[in-house]
Chains A and B, each alone.
Chain A
Amino acid sequence: MFDAIALLNLPSLVGAASVDFSWLIEKVSLATWETIYMVIISTALAYVMGLPLGVILVITEKGHILENIPLNSILGVIVNVFRSIPFIIFLILVIPLTKLIVGGFIGTVASMVPLTLAAVPFVARLVETSLKEIDWGLIEAALSMGANAWQIITKVLLPEASPSLILGVAITTINLVSYSAMAGIVGGGGLGTLAYYYGYQRYQTLILLITVVILVIMVQGVQVLGDTLAARAVNRRR
């Protein structure tokens, strides 16, 4: 108990008399906003690319509406390769690309590039799993009515899978919250940067703690929101 308090490094926690609370609030709220902003935009961009990719992975499968086995295998391999690279290494690997796209590799905008790219294959697999849960009979019914591939995707696959897709968005967002903290360590901005530079390097444990609490609240919030929206989509049908 006392050891635990000692571990918290009390002097720096209180920061002697030097803790300026208005400075702290400003720093923390800026960092929180940066994280939210990074995560939301990266999630959105990841879905812009990952959702179509996931749909393609499903419909080009053997026996599906646009069977294309070579394309399906190639995309499958690419997705797996990207998914097997640890994020911290991926961050460094995409630096040249980041520079090319945003002109630098430090800051919130720059870190959206690795965040988005890392999430795309993940999203694709989540979408694929959600869409595969749909009973083939529904697709067959739509085919029997003369539906084309686009109509089946937009009127059958995506609406029918919506509860599962919503949960996927929540999982992706939560993953990106934690990835964004990692990106923060290499200068990505947001709560990660705050925790690393002030909390870790300058021994301000209070900042470290606040960061953790905010991250926990964020993750909880996203999960609860996701669960609620998914449940609403399901309940509506009962």
Chain B
Amino acid sequence: MIQIEHLTKIFETPSHQVLALDDVTLSINKGEIFGIIGLSGAGKSTLIRCINMLEKPTQGSIYVDGQQITSLDKRDLRCARQKIGMIFQHFNLLSSRTVFDNILFPLEIAGVPSAQAKSRVNELLDLVGLTDKAGVYPGQLSGGQKQRVGIARALANNPKVLLSDEATSALDPQTTSSILKLLKDINRQLNLTILLITHDMNVIKQVCDRVAVIDNSRIVEIGDVLSVFTNPATPTSHSFINAVVKNDIPEDLTLAKIDPQRHPTRLIRVSFIGSSAGQPIISSMIRRYDIDVNILYGNIDRVKDTPFGNLVLELIGEASLLDEAMAYLRERGLEIEVLKNV
């Protein structure tokens, strides 16, 4: 749905040049929710703004639904923009217009006949659950309601793509969840392609199918969210993930007071993804092999709809039994890392 090829953006200032995007190539599929995560200043905002040409790329090309956006003349660009919805961090609603008229705005721009436009606005109000707020001015709405208006407005002209520029960054966590849920519903109902940028891994975790990590103007990692979460390939991705998932074991645990006189002891980390998270593998291991298990640490999380997590276990018993027990866990599809072997 969106192809970005060798996109480079350089900002010229009188004194020097700033490289905001460095040879970015990305492909976003129809119907997916694609997230781009990066720290502020990494270039993610520039990237999303290039897609509807709010920012003019220095080099490279962008295709949206097969149409080369980067080479359109002004008139064609305006037409193309009507089919690319966008929502913003600060909502950008017109304070002089009611909720109804704000949603009507893009339809006026597109020249949709009045009667048809009004019925479309009512549909959209219903979709975002704000029918009762139609006559209210944005100044009277909460942040979450404002963003719902923003979403309705962005969908007015039945866009092929929805661009979300930090749309939840100004909202509290609960409101963020409700807006993300709305985006997910819209994505399913309308099979709408959504590209969102964020600095918050929680957003990626909750709604995205795939994610690209942008660091220092370059895409450093692209993959489906689950694999990036469970196996981040770069330090940048790793630090983003750590912000939301405690994948790192607290250091004092690995230094736990294991008594070497007592028995052979092993400290292992077990990672599990998906269905295995729901099975009683640990207890069946204990029953099968005559060993003791001490659970030192554990967590479970969810990426979109897939559970994943990890456990730090202290296994105590005969060395041969410990080997067998670990082999058993591996057979069941768990990933095992030995942290300490005494």
Give residues 138-166 of A contacting B (CB, 8 Å).
Answer: 138, 140-148, 151, 155-156, 159-160, 162
Q: Closest chain A residue to B159 by CB distance?
A: A145
User: Once the chains are docked, how many angstroms separate the CA of A140 from the CA of B92?
Assistant: 8
Beta-carbon contacts under 8 Å, A210-238 to B: 233, 236-238
A residues adjacent to B (C-beta < 8 A): 135, 137-138, 140-148, 151, 155-156, 159-160, 162, 233, 236-238
Whether B81 lies near A144 (C-beta < 8 A) is yes
**B87 vs chain A, min Cβ distance (A):** 9
Residue pair B106, A145 in contact (C-beta under 8 Å): yes
Query: Whole-angstrom distance from the CB of B302 to the nearest CB of chain A?
Result: 33
What secondary structure prevails in chain A residues at the interface with B? helix
Cβ of B341 under 8 Å from chain A: no
22 pairs, CB–CB < 8 Å, chain A vs chain B: A135-B90, A138-B94, A140-B88, A140-B92, A141-B93, A143-B54, A144-B52, A144-B81, A144-B86, A145-B82, A145-B86, A145-B110, A145-B157, A146-B82, A146-B106, A146-B110, A151-B108, A155-B105, A155-B108, A159-B97, A160-B94, A238-B139
Question: Closest CB-CB distance, A122 to chain B, in whole Å?
Answer: 25
Count A/B pairs, Cβ under 8 Å: 69
How far is the CB of B25 from the nearest CB of chain A, in Å? 24
Chain B residues contacting A142 (CB-CB under 8 Å) are: 105, 109
Q: B96 contacts A159, CB within 8 Å?
A: yes
B81–A146 contact, CB under 8 A?
A: yes
B125 on the A face (CB < 8 A): no
List, in ascending order, chain A residues with CB within 8 A of B84's CB.
144
Assembled-state Cα–Cα distance A144/B139 (Å): 22
Are B81 and A143 in contact, CB atoms less than 8 angstroms apart?
A: yes
Given A145-B106, A146-B81, A140 contacting B54 (CB threshold 8 A): yes
Contact A156/B110 with A143-B54, A144-B81 known, Cβ cut-off 8 Å: no
Chain B nearest Cβ from A164, distance in angstroms: 12
- Contacting residues, chain A, for B153 (C-beta < 8 A): 145
Asked whether B79 lies within 8 Å of A146 as measured between CB atoms, the reply is yes
The 3 A-B residue pairs with the shortest CB-CB distance in the complex, in nearest-first order: A146-B81, A141-B92, A146-B78
Q: How far is the CB of A233 from chain B (nearest CB, A)?
A: 8
A194: shortest Cβ distance to chain B, in Å? Answer: 42
